[in-house]
Structure 1
């Protein structure tokens, strides 16, 4: 049974999030070695000045998504839960920290262009469109107060905003 309880606290942007990403990225590179093609800091902690939960989202890109399952034990030794696709076809998802989550790892195969593009497009769009980042931060802050221990309520509350943001980000990225 997957635990859906989580302490949800949204805070002001923290420059330490960049260093926390770099530390964890080194660990992931050490685990996956030659299977790893690239690794990206994604999500809200990758966007300067965006309010966020203090959870570092990491997107490793690998040669073969099926091979990732061979690394589950090493990821678990470093404190991660291995959750398989966890609702996203073609992904391997790991999380660390339980109810006080610290990291989420979303692994995709190098040719999963849609998933890779959408994550990077949203990150880059928010970095370039401060007004949307501010609006998104306010929404997350409001939802964290409304759903302090209910990740489903929090996620559902931002669903429509995120869908619209993703659409705008992909259109913007494709025009560049």
Structure 2
């Protein structure tokens, strides 16, 4: 699959809202949903894929068949990456990933409440929303990576993920300084 970064599209927030309704039909009771990733940061270039985080109390609560009925296919990816130099138990990185099978391109990342990988995308999203210089630099990095590695996802993520780990370090300091806490469902 070709990696292509596009300029921000006005419809990303509306597309998330439509997908949110569909996802909540398949979600376990009490789940929270957030628009995450670059399409959730106004003005940030991104792949034209809506990333959504569904937060659940326990991954065992997820009914894969319910997501399939809503036209989402479970992916084989089961763990998020661990930042270099950080040692985390596997439970802090586990997730279920669903990809849309038709209609709007979307990824649904199902993660457990309170885990490292559940907090990470929310903190980074909120940090980039309030730090336009960091967001613009991150957007430029993604554009250049996509130009250099348009057909090599492994190379793209081998560089992009550590760059994002640098961003999260700043985001953690920002979170402490302002008393950031996890936002309610979008």
2:113 to 110, 113, 117: 110
TM-score (norm 1): 0.85
What residue ranges of structure 1 are gaps of 5+ in the alignment?
1-5
1:50 maps to what in 2?
44
Give the alignment of 1:37-116 within 5 angstroms.
Answer: 37-68=31-62, 71-83=63-75, 86-88=78-80, 89-96=93-100, 102-112=105-115, 114-116=116-118
Equivalent in the alignment of 2:160 = 158
Aligned length: 166
Q: What SS does the corresponding residue of 2:9 show, helix, strand or coil?
A: coil
Alignment partner, residue 20 of structure 2:
25
Please name the residue that 1:3 is paired with: none
Kept in 2: contact 1:37–1:110 (CA 8 A): no
The ranges of structure 1 where at least 4 consecutive aligned residues each deviate by more than 3 angstroms after the TM superposition are none
Q: Secondary structure at the match of 2:31?
A: strand
Q: Which ranges in structure 2 are unaligned for 5 or more consecutive residues?
A: 81-92, 179-186
Q: Which has the higher helix share?
A: 1
What TM-score does the superposition give when structure 2 sets the normalisation length?
A: 0.81
Aligned CA RMSD, in angstroms, stands at 2.0
Shift in Å, 1:105: 0.9
The structure carrying a bigger strand percent of its residues is 1
Report deviation, 1:41: 0.3
